[in-house]
Amino acid sequence: MKRRYFLFGAASSLAGQSPNDAIQVGMIGVGNRGGYVMKSVMAQPGGKVVALCDIKPDRLDKAATAAARDNPATYKDWRKLIDDKNVQVVHISTPCDLHVEMAIAALQAGKHVYCEKPAGVTPESIARLVKVARASKMKFQIGQQLRSDTRMRKTIEQVHAGIAGTVVMIKAQRHSGDDLPHDSPSADWFFDAKRSGDVIVEMSVHNLDVCNWAANSRPERAAGFGGAMVWPNDPPGRTNMDGYTLSYEYANGVKMSYTQVFFHPSGLPGNGQYFYVYGTEGAVDLYTSTFYARKKGAKPQVLFPDEKQDLNSQHVASLFDAIRNGTPVTAGIDVGATGALTAILGRDAIYKKRMLSWKELGVEL
């Protein structure tokens, strides 16, 4: 109890620090994603990487070399990193099925948490995390970096202010021209739907979160179809999908159509990602921040100019600001849980081959 009190006190004392005062971060998982975000942590004023953890020695060595400026401790056991008294913030960048256990342990140890998306891969685990995060005094930030996109935020504010009238429908997609590499040992968990949550939970939680944000609501029900259509059982043992289509109906009546495929040829028009928000008076393209009025002859209106943004750095910076100033985070547990549950709702509707309601997930938010 004395140790836990000390940790809470140490973390709480961060409030009121100047931007250059050190915030000491421990990184759990320093593969491609974790190693990349680690650089954003080190680039922050006062950002210091004091501990690293990974089960693969080569990745741990590579990350320790990259973070040599901060002379971090290294661990193979993530629990020891959480127990490290020098760690104030725990960054979790591991396979998705480990997020909840690690985040709960960190919060209960009196650490702030930056958890890569998704918040969890099952409704039951997310419910446990929500309970702990809401009861904790520590900051919890989910790695849904589009929430830190300044242009996107300002555009969605215009949508909510009624520039396109009442929002009635959203159409969005995430299309790419190829599957993830089938021979990468670091991505074996990705093709295991029980570990990754399937592609909709592991990847499209970003996109679905933006749709929730624009709709200013959460889904009431979902239905869809999908599967491994181009690469069945490739790589061997694959259980995740390579394409699917989904329809959602939101609690406020907004309808949403969403697709994700890995087999959209690069030369075919329409590849990539987009978010189209349709209203009674027109539509808004969230990615280009452009309003298209329904009135005949109206010209497209760019709402906000394009900005050069490093979303990873901005998202890390927003957590640091929240810790220092005691203010809310950009993407907290409610955003993380709702985004993950939206993806799970669609995934399970596909799996069960029927319309599925939000209430059936059994999680109160």
Residue 11 belongs to domain with CATH number:
3.40.50.720
Same domain, 207 and 352: yes
CB 54 within 8 A of CB 76: yes
Same domain, 190 and 132: no
- Asked if residue 12 has pLDDT above 50, the reply is no
CATH code, domain carrying 243: 3.30.360.10
CA distance 307 to 155: 13
CA distance 7 to 172: 43
CB 286 within 8 A of CB 295: no
What is the pLDDT confidence band of residue 184, given thresholds at 50, 70 and 90?
Answer: confident
| Residue range 30-57: mean pLDDT, rounded | 95
Phi/psi of residue 12, each to 5°? -65, -30
Same domain, 12 and 141: yes
What is the extent of the structural domain holding 220?
Answer: 151-305+340-361
Q: Which of 310, 337, 262 lies closest to 43 in space, CA to CA?
A: 310
157 contact partners, CB below 8 Å, separation of at least 6: none
User: What integer pLDDT is reported at residue 6 of this predicted model?
Assistant: 33
- pTM (2 d.p.): 0.93
User: What integer pLDDT is reported at residue 116 of this predicted model?
Assistant: 98
User: What integer pLDDT is reported at residue 110 of this predicted model?
Assistant: 98
Q: Is 283 helix (H, G, I), strand (E, B) or coil?
A: strand
Same domain, 169 and 29: no
Q: Does 167 or 1 have the greater pLDDT score?
A: 167
In the numeric block, which tokens belong to residue 127? 């419910």
Same domain, 226 and 266: yes
Phi/psi of residue 246, each to 5°? -135, 150
User: What integer pLDDT is reported at residue 3 of this predicted model?
Assistant: 31
- Asked if residue 128 has pLDDT above 80, the reply is yes
What is the pLDDT confidence band of residue 186, given thresholds at 50, 70 and 90?
Answer: confident
Same domain, 97 and 31: yes
Q: Is 140 helix (H, G, I), strand (E, B) or coil?
A: strand
CA–centroid distance for 200 within its chain? 12
Same domain, 37 and 174: no
What is the pLDDT confidence band of residue 38, given thresholds at 50, 70 and 90?
Answer: very high
Average pLDDT in the chain: 94
CA distance 163 to 280: 10
Q: Which of 155, 156, 111, 107 lies closest to 132 in space, CA to CA?
A: 107
* Number of helices followed by number of strands (H, E) in the chain: 12, 15
What is the pLDDT confidence band of residue 141, given thresholds at 50, 70 and 90?
Answer: very high
Cis peptide before 95 (omega within 30 of 0): no
Same domain, 166 and 297: yes
| Beta-bridge partner residues of 257 | 171, 247
Percent of the chain's residues with pLDDT above 90: 91
Same domain, 39 and 87: yes
DSSP 8-class letter at 318: H
User: What integer pLDDT is reported at residue 21 of this predicted model?
Assistant: 78
Amino acid at 50: V
Percent of the chain's residues with pLDDT above 70: 95
User: What integer pLDDT is reported at residue 174 of this predicted model?
Assistant: 98
25 contact partners, CB below 8 Å, separation of at least 6: 41, 47, 48, 49, 50, 51, 87, 88, 89, 90, 91, 114
CA distance 111 to 118: 19
pLDDT tens for 112-121 read 999 999 999 9
User: What integer pLDDT is reported at residue 188 of this predicted model?
Assistant: 87
Label residue 362 left, alpha or beta by phi (over 0 means left) and psi (-120 to 50 means alpha).
Answer: left
| Residue range 338-346: mean pLDDT, rounded | 98
pLDDT tens for 219-278 read 999 999 999 999 999 999 999 999 999 999 999 999 999 999 999 999 999 999 999 999
Q: What angle do CA 57, 63, 69 make, to 5 degrees?
A: 135
Number of domains composing the chain = 2
